[in-house]
Amino acid sequence: DIQMTQSPSTLSALVGDRVTITCRASQSVGPWLAWYQQKPGKAPKLLIYEAYNLESGVPSRFSGSGSETDFTLTISTLQPDDFATYYCQQYFSYWTFGQGTKVEIK
Amino acid sequence: EVQLVESGGGLTRPGGSLRLSCAASGVTVSRNHMTWVRQAPGKGLDWVAVIYSDGRTYYVDSVRGRFTISRDTSENTLYLQMDSLGAEDTALYYCGSLKDTIGGPPGGMDVWGQGTTVAVSS
């Protein structure tokens, strides 16, 4: 089974900060990686697919990069609406999520 | 508007059964890859099962042999039959559709329902 490890688990930031979340796969998953945003009491929302493709309607301040085993989600300028938990997910072999990164107000 | 609405969750005893439903509108269940994902209270997301558009089904090891994913074309509804439930199955269950990937595996979940809660307790 492919394991996904995100870091950090929690991130404290200010509005306007540049935020980076990393995700590492236990084996190569190619470009087959997605990122999601989840707010309390809500279903997750797809942000990025195939490592760097922005889902329709997602603000351009979100971007993804990486391939094989190492991936990054970047929020260029953190907005108040961005405080949430973020998950990576590989879909090279079935589907496995990372444990999540909570972005909280500093 | 694309919408998925789950139902069927509830409280049941260990060893019991539940059938979850996911009614779809704006998306054709039989033409898309459909999946179930669950989230235990205060925890992260775990993939549970998938049914591909061609009918193939796959399950995470922890539910294989106990859960069955299926679909009803006439009702445009996805199901998850859950048997031999244990406390470890307590979670919010989401249904969703997967993005088709050109030349690659079915991808991220681009449409999610609001979830239905399953609680297993004696």
Contact B99, B80 (CB under 8 A): no
pLDDT in tens, A3-52: 999 999 999 999 999 999 999 999 999 999 999 999 999 999 999 999 99
pLDDT of amino acid A9 = 98
CB A95 within 8 A of CB A81: no
CB spacing of A95 vs B50 below 8 angstroms:
yes
Residue A66 backbone zone (phi > 0: left; psi -120 to 50: alpha; other: beta): left
Facing residue for A99 by CB, picked from B44, B60, B115: B44
Q: How far is A20 from chain B (nearest CA, A)?
A: 19
Contact state of A43 with B101 under an 8 Å Cβ cutoff: no
Share of chain A above pLDDT 90, in %: 98
B48 HSE (CA, 13 A, CB side): 29
Under an 8 A CB cutoff, do B35 and A87 touch?
Answer: no
What integer pLDDT is reported at residue B2 of this predicted model? 94
Cβ distance of A43 and B114 shorter than 8 Å = yes
pLDDT value at position B3? 97
Residues of A in contact with B4 (CB under 8 A): none
Residue of chain A with shortest Cα separation from B116: A43
Instruction: For B37-54, write each residue's pLDDT tens digit.
Output: 999 999 999 999 999 999
Cβ pair B105:A100 closer than 8 A: no
Nearest to A87 among B45, B94, B112 (CB): B45
Q: Which chain B residue lies closest to A46 (C-alpha atoms)?
A: B110
What pLDDT is stored for residue B102 in this prediction?
80
Q: What is the average per-residue pLDDT within B101-119?
A: 92
From B47, B104, B115, residue closest to A32, measured CB to CB:
B104
Which residues on B lie below 8 Å from A28 (Cβ)?
A: none
Neighbouring C-alpha atoms within 13 Å toward the C-beta of B25: 4
Cα angle A105-A7-A70, degrees, rounded to a multiple of 5: 135
